[in-house]
Amino acid sequence: MADPVVAQVPCKVNLHLGVHAGRDARGYHRVDSLMVAVALFDTVTVEDAPELSVSFSPALSISVEKSGVWRAAALLAEALGERPLVRVNVTRRIPGSAGLGSSSADAGAALRLLAERWGIDPRDPRVVEVARRIGADVAFFLDPRPGLYVGGGDVLERGLTAPELPLALVMPRAEGGSTPEAYAEFDRSGGEPDDPAPLVAALLAGDVSGIAAGLHNNLAQAACALCPEAGEVEAWLRERPGVLAAQITGSGTCSFAICVSADAADAVVADAAARGWRSWSTKTLGSATEVC
């Protein structure tokens, strides 16, 4: 019987999210997604069990059999010819419906732990293919280091380096639409994205001002149409002292602010909390030690 294994899996923000018109055979839009990991973590534990079992704390609003973690265990076992005699427990701290990748993070961490348990490199093509079947961001969480992803936002084009950036994360009180609803809204009103190349160059140079100037998310307009308060948060953040730039991440509803210092991020978070918004003072993660 193998000992339980544990992973702390971070959330992510999209420094660049560029959605293109049209969809592929899977129904995915072509997406350029430059993601970095952020120090707000879920805990995923895998241990032996008589049959596949998954639990979440706090509990999900859907059945565990519909979760990405359950699908990850079942699909990877099938792909590798293993029996999924495991229990996967997830302690949730990353907020859902935020654009922070909560469910994808949990599924990616489960895949990584199960692959290692079954003697397979988590970057094995079979593992990556299962990750892509579960969701566009899941492959990133197999090895959550900065990277530019293309295809449906699920194919790593280029691994990157990134400086540590103090961040404030702020969520509105109102709930937003789902990711499919955001993409449907984009189909009605979205425009072509910017080129991510200048942001890539700024990251490689460690140019914080260039990174701040290069933020882009052409799905944000759709997120704000579904949750106008998300746009209020984003605009409010841009006006805070010590904020270099702010942007909605993913399909919303969370916005992040790049701050000049951890103290500035703390102050922004305190002000946001006083307005009744959920908020966290944190930072981006760039090194292998930090994110693995």
Of the candidates 12, 32, 143, 154, the residue annotated as catalytic is 12
- Say which residue the tokens 């969370």 belong to: 254
What is the sign of the dihedral through the CA atoms of 178, 285, 136 and 160?
positive
Q: Which of 79, 89, 23, 24 is nearest to 56 (CA)?
A: 89
The Cα-based distances of 100 to 3, 15, 35, 122, 144 in angstroms read 30, 12, 10, 22, 13
Is the Cβ–Cβ distance between 167 and 38 less than 8 Å?
Answer: yes
71: Cβ–Cβ under 8 A, 6 or more apart, which residues? 107, 133, 134
Q: Which of 246, 264, 263 is nearest to 255 (CA)?
A: 246
Of the candidates 42, 137, 143, 154, the residue annotated as catalytic is 137
* Start-to-end Cα distance in the chain: 24
Q: What amino acid is encoded at 76 in this protein?
A: L
β-strands 29-48, 278-285 pairing: antiparallel
24 included as an active-site residue:
no
Residue 187 φ/ψ, nearest 5 degrees: -60, -30
**SS3 assignment for 129-151:** HHHHHHCCCHHHHHCCCCEEEEC
**Residues 220, 223, 227, 233: what is their CA dihedral angle, to the nearest 10 degrees?**
-30
What CA–CA distance (Å, rounded) separates 122 from 221? 35
CA angle 214, 234, 246 (to 5 degrees): 30
137 included as an active-site residue:
yes
- Residue positions annotated with a catalytic role: 12, 137
